[in-house]
A = this chain, B = another copy of it.
Amino acid sequence: MSRILFTCAYDGAPWQGWQSQPGGRTVQDVLEKALEAAVHAPCRIHAAGRTDAGVHARGQRFHADPPGTCRIPLNRWPGALNARLPSSIRVLEARSVPDGFHARFSATGKTYRYRMERTPLLSPFLAGRAWHLPGELDEAGMGRALALFCGMHDFRAFAARRGNEPAPVPEGFFIRSLDRVSLEREGGSLYVTLHGTGFLYKMVRLIVGALYHIGRGRLDERGLHRLLRAPSGEKSPYCAPACGLYLESVEYPEFPPVNPGVPRMSG
């Protein structure tokens, strides 16, 4: 048994983000504990995207190298781990990958979706799962502004410091490319969907925050142009809350997208 790539989904509300922390209340910690119980040995995992506290995932990916003595067949992995996981975290799939494969560095595309709720009241069933924005919003203007993000840009105004960046920052570090963007209304919900080859830290939430300012008339397209086309040291001023963000899927050239064919779950 060599390297395995897993797909998982989680409700981020009860967790302190992906990345392992001393307290142990993170998705990585809980998954590593389940994995250790399944293979009877410690086993580190490596995610495609290290989501922040409160951020959700429908198609997160991570890889691990279970010990050679482990004889769990691929199709039994989801059941073996789910039996040891809380119901807010589910492993959907496991597949064998070459030893050089890396869940993060081998990824060639990611899709994030951000959910805003426009109804006067936020349903108790959406608490912690959407950004509640019941007030006036120029949604058409937000849609036009979103289109400006499409393509390759220097996104340094839409990046927060994680603290572990290379220093000095290499040439082109902030250059990223979004090849599909959309703003869609479904009932009382407003979704921003972004597909790109790579994302900077908090990039999606900073983009959604800027769109919100556009929608409220506090930022215009000229201001957005300035942030996006002629980046200085200026930062986009508003980061949308974590609760609305979902990591939808991670793509690799070798594999079809998450959950092809019949959906394994709804909701």
- Which residue numbers of A lie inside 8 Å of B, CB to CB? 9-11, 56, 78, 82, 87-90, 92, 117, 119-130, 187-189, 263-267
Contact A82:B121 (CB < 8 A) given known A127-B87, A127-B88 = yes
A-B contact list, 28 entries, CB within 8 Å: A11-B127, A56-B125, A78-B121, A87-B124, A87-B127, A87-B128, A88-B124, A89-B124, A90-B121, A90-B122, A90-B123, A90-B124, A92-B121, A117-B267, A119-B263, A119-B264, A120-B265, A121-B265, A123-B265, A123-B266, A126-B265, A126-B266, A129-B267, A130-B267, A187-B266, A188-B263, A188-B265, A188-B267
Closest to A189 in B: B266
State the CA gap A228–B219 with chains docked (Å).
65
State the CA gap A82–B90 with chains docked (Å).
32
Number of copies: 2
State the CA gap A78–B122 with chains docked (Å).
12
When the two chains form their complex, are residues B124 and A11 in contact, meaning their CB atoms are under 8 A apart?
Answer: yes
Which residues does chain B contribute within 8 Å of A117, judged by CB atoms? 265-267
With A78-B121, A117-B266 known, 6 other A-B pairs at CB within 8 A are: A11-B127, A82-B121, A87-B127, A117-B267, A119-B265, A119-B266
Which residues does chain B contribute within 8 Å of A263, judged by CB atoms? 119, 187-188
Which residues does chain B contribute within 8 Å of A121, judged by CB atoms? 78, 82, 90, 92, 264-265
State the CA gap A123–B89 with chains docked (Å).
8
Closest to A120 in B: B264
State the CA gap A245–B78 with chains docked (Å).
28
Which residues does chain B contribute within 8 Å of A88, judged by CB atoms? 124, 127
When the two chains form their complex, are residues A267 and B87 in contact, meaning their CB atoms are under 8 A apart?
Answer: no
Which residues does chain B contribute within 8 Å of A82, judged by CB atoms? 121
How near does chain B come to A188, taking the closest CB pair, in angstroms? Answer: 4
Which one of B123, B129, B189, B264 contacts A125 once the chains associate, using CB atoms below 8 Å? B129
